[in-house]
Amino acid sequence: MSILLVIIIFSILVVAHEFGHFIAARQAGVKVERFAIGFGPALLKIRRKETDFLICLFPLGGYVKMAGDTKTEHTGLPYEFLSKSPGVKMRIVFAGPLFNYILALVIFWIIAVLGFPYQDTIVGKVLDGYPAQAAGIKEKDKIIKINGVRVEDWQEMAELIRKAEGAVKLTILRNGVTMMVDIPLEKKEIVDNFGIKRRASVIGIVASSEVKFVKYSLPQAFFKGFEKVFSSTLLILKGLVFIFSGALPFKEAVSGPIGIYYITSETVKVGLSATLLLMAGLNVTLATINLFPMPVLDGGHILFFFIERLRKKPLEERIEDFLTRIGIVLISLLVIFVFYNDIKRFGPRILDWKKFNPKTSAEKSVHKE
């Protein structure tokens, strides 16, 4: 069942992306010959007007085939892709990632209406030998403020503690009574959300498993969804900067189909909200990575058309072919590395479900501050 759900989630991402190309091409008067979901032999074929809609044997991926979209097929007819101006071609290519961003916005909007999940600031455990224990912090204490700043979720609270120096003043709620506690800080090496090790301040408390939901009105939810798309994009770009600067090991930062399958199948078990959040995140990731200016990716095509617009003529065919070959080689090497890395990281867990306990895995990832 989880395999089917993973395929459905991937297919939704692909359909959104290719539908963007399809709609933009049709609006620009470009003939679309095929709209395929998946690759390989066609399992289902439906013809509508001038387009064949296909569902293919291998469900991961898809493509839109436009008339005259390669130099060998281009004959100069007005309905062909390469006959259009650079601006129109850029708009058609950009529409794919744009529709992934739009789908992510819609999903975040729905989640915000249903309720965004967040981890409450309730202490689940006090670690032995840490400042919180010495200060008298107890399990089930609810932390309301850090140094006078009101906190609503654990992650927000954790960041305030990690950035603090010397000591922190906690306002806590215990059995209906509000009290303030001064706690000295201890420096420890932690692993942040990007997987980077750094020294930060801690007091020795662990989050409870209690999850709450905050709901928004329809207008508020829309702006919350837009904010989430924007912040998620910045987070991905920040991660890419860390990867290219060497601060974040590439093999720990990147997951391929096997890793995404594993993460998705585990997320589906958690519930609808977690699955929707993952879908939105995958849409933002797909859109952002696709806009990277590398040949073969949408961003690479946009770069070529932008250069064409500046030069008033296309790049020489030999230069474009050379850059495209480099892009194909780099993407192929990346695919091989990612598959190998996925097999090492996730293979044992997928192949031996009995030895893998999701509950144990979740316990290992509990937030400690």
Q: Residue 277 pLDDT more than 50?
A: yes
Mean per-residue pLDDT over the chain, rounded: 82
Question: Looking at residue 35, what is its pLDDT?
Answer: 95
pLDDT band at 21 (very low <50, low <70, confident <90, very high): very high
Binning pLDDT at 50, 70 and 90, where does residue 343 land? low
Q: What is the pLDDT of residue 260?
A: 60
Contacts 24+ apart (CB under 8 A), 169-173: 169/145, 170/137, 170/143, 170/145, 170/146, 171/143, 171/144, 171/145, 171/146, 172/137, 172/141, 172/142, 172/143, 172/144, 173/141, 173/142, 173/144
Residue with token string 């030999």: 318
Whether the pLDDT of residue 65 is over 60: the answer is yes
What residues does 56 pair with on adjacent strands? 42
Q: Is the pLDDT of residue 255 over 60?
A: no
Quick check: is 308 catalytic? no
16 versus 1: the higher-pLDDT residue is 16
In the prediction, which pLDDT does 120 show?
A: 85
Q: Averaged over 203-215, what is the pLDDT?
A: 83
**Segment 73-107, tens digit of pLDDT:** 999 999 999 999 999 999 999 999 999 999 999 99
Note whether 109 and 222 are within 8 A (CB).
yes
For the domain 117-213, what is the CATH code?
2.30.42.10
The arithmetic mean of pLDDT across residues 56-79, rounded, is 89
| pLDDT range class, residue 325, cuts 50, 70, 90 | confident
Under 8 Å CB-to-CB from 326, ≥6 apart: which residues?
Answer: 295
SS3 state of residue 117 = strand
Give the residue extent of every domain in the chain.
86-115+216-369, 117-213
DSSP 141: -
pLDDT at residue 191 tops 70: no
Q: Which of 25-29, 306-310, 326-330 has the lowest mean pLDDT?
A: 326-330
Q: What percent of the chain has pLDDT over 70?
A: 80
- The answer, yes or no, to whether residue 214 has pLDDT greater than 80, is yes
Read off the pLDDT band of 266 (50, 70, 90): low
Which carries the bigger pLDDT value, residue 237 or residue 264?
Answer: 237
Instruction: Specify the pTM.
Output: 0.79
